[in-house]
């Protein structure tokens, strides 16, 4: 049986259209899972039913997270936010944690996991962390543009089988203060947090890069490992 992975998605237009790049479901399929989309809702009963239906959840990328959810006002560098998506995903993340459902967060997804557990974000790296390297690369997203150092003994280091990996970079926000329950396990050369995980959890991992786009590079053999590890962790016992 292929594990069923629920994917969050973004909204477009007047918040009346569903939007998500196909690279997310494609990576889940390639890794042996069955992807389904979970429409935005804040109804706890619906969210609970979503969790009954899936073996794992992938929190996908997209717009900025509204700083109100980590107790700040928006600064000038903050981009477009969709509070009702944030609210849905924060609730879903907390409910998933109660059930120990495996969770993977990508790009905005790592930020979402962190905020749901009480952490904070840089609203805009360029204005709030001036010594940071370029995190909005110009080359195509199937190519990495900066390395991340993976912590010894971390799940991410185990998955990639090494302590450094080249990753793409398409973000202007990032985890600032990691939530207490989370271990920081990937750092870019300027010290920006690019990977978090919850020790002892079956699979609670967030990455700031877009592995689903790097797997589209036929020469890349590294990043599918993350999806395989996630899908394997979602297999019902």
Task: Exactly one of 78, 88, 93, 107 is catalytic; name it.
Answer: 107
Instruction: Give me the residue whose beta carbon is nearest to Mn ion.
Output: 169
Give the 3-state secondary structure of residue 194: strand
> Residue 104, Cα to own-chain centre: how many angstroms?
6
Are the beta carbons of 119 and 93 closer than 8 angstroms?
A: no
The minimum distance between CB 68 and Mn ion, in angstroms, equals: 25
- Indicate whether 169 belongs to the interface with Mn ion (CB under 5 A): yes
CB of 135 to Mn ion, least distance (A): 4
- Name residue 216's beta-bridge partners: none
Nearer to Mn ion, 9 or 135 (CB): 135
Does 210 contact Mn ion by CB under 5 A? no
Provide the minimum distance between the beta carbon of 146 and Mn ion in the complex, in angstroms, as a whole number. 6
- Position 141 contacts Mn ion (CB under 5 A): no
Q: Which of 189, 186, 147 is nearest to 168 (CA)?
A: 147
* Token code pair at residue 202: 């079956």
168: contact with Mn ion by CB under 5 A? no
Query: Nearer Cβ to Mn ion, position 187 or 224?
Result: 187
Can 107 be counted among the known catalytic residues? yes
For the question of residue 146 being annotated catalytic, the response is no
Cα–Cα distance measured from residue 184 to residue 156, given in angstroms and rounded to the nearest whole number: 10
Residue 172 known to be catalytic: no
Contact positions with Mn ion (CB under 5 A) in 10-49: none
- 102 near 55, Cβ under 8 Å? yes
Under a CB-based contact definition with an 8 Å cutoff, are residues 9 and 37 in contact? yes
**What are the beta bridge partners of residue 4?**
34
**Burial call 30-46: b when 16+ CB within 10 Å, e when fewer:** ebebbbeebebbeeeee
Catalytic: which of 212, 222, 223, 234? 212
For position 172 contacting Mn ion by CB under 5 A, the verdict is: no
State yes or no: residue 145 binds Mn ion (CB under 5 A): no
**Least gap, CB of 200 to Mn ion (angstroms):** 27
The residues that touch Mn ion, with contacts defined as CB under 5 A, are: 135, 169
Residues assigned a catalytic role: 107, 210, 212
């Amino acid at each position: 049986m292929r594990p069923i992975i629920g994917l969050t998605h973004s909204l477009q237009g007047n918040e009346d259209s569903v939007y998500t790049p196909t690279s997310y479901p494609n990576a889940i399929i390639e890794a042996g899972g069955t992807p389904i989309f979970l429409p935005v809702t804040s109804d706890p009963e619906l969210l609970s039913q979503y969790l009954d239906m899936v073996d794992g959840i992938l929190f996908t990328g997209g717009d900025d997270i509204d700083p109100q959810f980590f107790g700040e006002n928006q600064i000038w560098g903050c981009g477009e936010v969709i509070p009702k998506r944030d609210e849905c995903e924060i609730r879903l993340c907390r409910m998933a944690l109660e059930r120990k459902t495996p969770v993977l967060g990508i790009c905005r997804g790592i930020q979402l996991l962190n905020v749901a557990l009480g952490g904070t974000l840089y609203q805009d790296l360029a204005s709030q962390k001036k010594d940071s390297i370029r995190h909005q690369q110009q080359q195509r997203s199937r190519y990495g543009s900066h390395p991340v150092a993976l912590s010894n003994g971390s799940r991410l280091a185990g998955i990639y089988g090494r302590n450094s990996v080249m990753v793409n970079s398409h973000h202007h926000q990032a985890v600032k203060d990691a939530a207490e329950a989370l271990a920081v396990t990937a750092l870019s050369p300027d010290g920006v947090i690019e990977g978090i995980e919850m020790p002892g959890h079956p699979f609670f991992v967030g990455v700031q890069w877009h592995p689903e786009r790097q797997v589209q590079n036929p020469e890349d053999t590294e990043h599918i490992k993350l999806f395989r590890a996630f899908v394997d962790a979602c297999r019902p016992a």
